[in-house]
Amino acid sequence: MPEFKQAAGAPYSLTLRPGHEELLQLDWAQPLLRWDSPFLVERPAGLSRHLVRFVEIAELTYALKELPLMPARRDYEVLRLLEERGASAVRPVGLAIRPEGDPTAEGAAILVTRFADAAVPYRHVFASGDPRLVRSRLVDALAGLLVELHLYGCFWGDCSLSNVLYRQDGATLETILVDAETATIRPFLSDGGRNEDIGIMVENVGAEMADLAASEGRSLDEADFELGEEVAVSYRALWQEVSGQESIPDDQRYRIADRVRRLNELGFEVDEIELEPHPSREHVHLKVRVGDRNWHANRLRELTGLEASENQAKQLLADLQYWEMLLGPALPGDRALRAARWRMEVYGPWVIRLAERFRGRDPVQAYCDLLTHRYYLSVAAGHDVGTELAFEDWTARR
């Protein structure tokens, strides 16, 4: 990683990762609040204890957070480690340090990260649709993020709704960690460490629900204080699925494949399967080691060459399977050829059509939204309505 530093006695030093040299032209010597740059832009931002501003330069958008030196260094270093592990976190780009002055002051450093395109704070999520559906998706998404981080040995230390950005991912939500200044990466995270993290999350989410109720003119009695506890319940169930040991009777070894399929359905790659026969030879102890939570995205890439987020990929693979079922014997036997035809004859034309119809919107997510609308319309009609009719109904409602 190249490191760009000013000469001795200069008001700042700047570390930048490759590919972001355009940021050198910004005035890092000035406090962030005083910046008056044509590159400054507005983006959705949640509540933060630190000043956060955004710049768009060379067609890339960056988030700049001003904070004291030590938490800035930790934030940058933990985000680098999470990136190496493929975790769901913003990507660190650089760190500006002002060597003179108080290192504990807010203006001691500026952390630079890539802005997560199309991602929004939690208040935007709650305002975006049916509160019950949004709530359910948020519970599962935040629990999934915590499990993912804990599998990587990450103790967050300040998990809250505000320290996460949310992005539509197929019919679900993708969660992206944006604040790691209290986090640490350990070789192994103990049960005590995990439980401490969950306790912090429950307390923080409760406070945020109280703030949300107050901002909407509701009393504290109407605040959703159960949300954090429900995230904890979802987390514990998912953690047991991905890390729990299971006893399998010797004549039921098919359950090993069932366990792998369940984990794949949840998005987890299975790296290792450990079997330890019991001395009685009547059963075996099964333990699995999971890897990245990108199983569907990896399968979609292998089959079609398409890049999509995990739950988008899950919907697209289901659409491929739906199309294969419709055409049946008319398709070639080789699945790679079938996948290529689906991409050329179904996915490609629809994505082009949606990109033209909804300019500025992610066409892959638009296609996933159309598939979701087709599903609910078909359920209501009692039969498969088809994508074209679903598109006509969907666009008429917008």
Residues 234 and 155 in one domain: yes
More confident residue, 113 or 132: 113
More confident residue, 362 or 132: 362
**In the prediction, which pLDDT does 320 show?**
93
**In the prediction, which pLDDT does 263 show?**
86
Structural domain of 31: 3-114
Residues 336 and 312 in one domain: yes
Residues 320 and 391 in one domain: yes
Q: How confident is the model at residue 10 (pLDDT cuts 50, 70, 90)?
A: low
Q: Enter the pTM of the model.
A: 0.84
Q: What value does the mean pLDDT take over residues 237-243?
A: 91
**In the prediction, which pLDDT does 252 show?**
84
Residues 212 and 286 in one domain: no
Residues 263 and 168 in one domain: no
Residues 232 and 328 in one domain: no
**In the predicted model, is pLDDT for residue 372 greater than 80?**
yes
CATH number of the domain residue 107 falls in:
3.30.200
**In the predicted model, is pLDDT for residue 6 greater than 80?**
no
**In the prediction, which pLDDT does 365 show?**
93
Residues 328 and 220 in one domain: no
Q: What is the mean pLDDT of the chain?
A: 89
**In the prediction, which pLDDT does 294 show?**
87
Least confident window among 247-256, 347-356, 359-368 = 247-256
Out of 114, 149, 175, a domain closes at: 114
**In the prediction, which pLDDT does 299 show?**
93
Q: How confident is the model at residue 224 (pLDDT cuts 50, 70, 90)?
A: very high
Q: What is the 3-class SS of the chain, one letter each residue?
A: CCEEECCCCCCCEEEECCCCHHHHHCCCCCCHHHCCCCCEECCCCCCCCCEEEEEEECCEEEEEEEECHHHHHHHHHHHHHHHHCCCCECCEEEEEECCCCCCCCHHHEEEEEECCCCCECHHHHHCCCCHHHHHHHHHHHHHHHHHHHHHCCEECCCCCHHHEEEEEECCEEEEEECCCCCCEECCCCCHHHHHHHHHHHHHHHHHHHHHHHHHCCCCHHHCCCCHHHHHHHHHHHHHHHHHCCEEEEHHHCHHHHHHHHHHHHCCCCEEEEEEEECCCCCEEEEEEEECCCCHHHHHHHHHHCCCCCHHHHHHHHHHHHHHHHHHHHHCCCCHHHHHHHHHHHHHHHHHHHHHHHCCCCCHHHHHHHHHHHHHHHHHHHCCCCCHHHHHHHHHHHC
Q: What value does the mean pLDDT take over residues 80-99?
A: 93
- Tell me how many domains the chain contains: 4
Out of 83, 114, 145, a domain closes at: 114
Residues 336 and 386 in one domain: yes
Out of 82, 114, 146, a domain closes at: 114
Q: What value does the mean pLDDT take over residues 154-162?
A: 95
pLDDT per position as a tens digit, 181-215: 999 999 989 999 999 999 999 999 999 999 999 98
Residues 226 and 134 in one domain: yes
Residues 81 and 144 in one domain: no
Q: How confident is the model at residue 7 (pLDDT cuts 50, 70, 90)?
A: very low
pLDDT per position as a tens digit, 324-356: 888 887 777 788 889 999 999 999 999 999 999
**In the prediction, which pLDDT does 8 show?**
45
* % of residues, the chain, pLDDT over 70: 97
Residues 180 and 108 in one domain: no
Residues 236 and 341 in one domain: no
